[in-house]
Amino acid sequence: MAAYANYALLAAALPFCLWATWSDLRYMKIPNMLVLAMAVAFLVIGAIFLPFDVYLWRLLGGFIVLVAGFVLFSLGVMGGGDAKFAASMALFVDRNEVLPFLFILSVVTLLAVLSHWILGKLKFARAITGSWDSWTVKKKFPFGFGMGAALIYYLAIRAFA
């Protein structure tokens, strides 16, 4: 049953991660509807495929990340959409793999920053994407880009390893 859970979690998270990436790049916002729908998708998929104790631990982890995200948002460290998206992402991460996931998140986010900076310098990339807000907003980065990509990578590793 665990193998099916990994495929199901990847399938459930993938469209939300892509939506969050696009929305954050385009508008520098991650919609509340996206975060709620992603959490609901986990609630359904998790209830079907995960053992009850694992399911409860993941809910607790999501709540802890939500509280930490609100604290970081109130301190001006991260955006509110990023904080809420992180909480919904936490539902998809196994509690025994938090540190490896954080490592993946840091590497993928660094790659996202570099690729965003490089593509932002290329005229053809700006022509293709139009007037994305992430190209013009200074001193802010669309963290949903790195977070979404990291969760997709993490879940893909779990599903296909």
Asked if pLDDT for residue 160 goes beyond 90, the answer is: yes
Domain extent for 17:
2-160
Asked if pLDDT for residue 48 goes beyond 70, the answer is: yes
> According to the model, what pLDDT value does residue 2 have?
72
Asked if pLDDT for residue 98 goes beyond 90, the answer is: yes
The stretch 73-96 carries a mean pLDDT of 96
CA 160 distance to own-chain centroid? 19
How far apart are alpha carbons 149 and 35 in whole angstroms?
15
When pLDDT is cut at 50, 70 and 90, the band that residue 1 belongs to is low
Asked if pLDDT for residue 136 goes beyond 70, the answer is: yes
Q: Shortest CA distance to 93 belongs to which of 18, 85, 82?
A: 85
- Give me the number of domains the chain comprises: 1
Tens digit of each residue's pLDDT (9 = 90 or more) over 10-34: 999 999 999 999 999 999 999 999 9
> Would you give the end-to-end CA distance of the chain in angstroms?
15
Averaged pLDDT score across all residues of the chain:
94
Long-range contacts of 6-11 (CB under 8 A, 24+ apart): 6/155, 6/158, 6/159, 7/159, 8/45, 8/48, 8/49, 9/42, 9/45, 9/46, 9/49, 9/92, 9/155, 9/158, 9/159, 10/152, 10/155, 10/156, 10/158, 10/159
When pLDDT is cut at 50, 70 and 90, the band that residue 148 belongs to is very high
The stretch 59-73 carries a mean pLDDT of 97
> According to the model, what pLDDT value does residue 124 have?
86
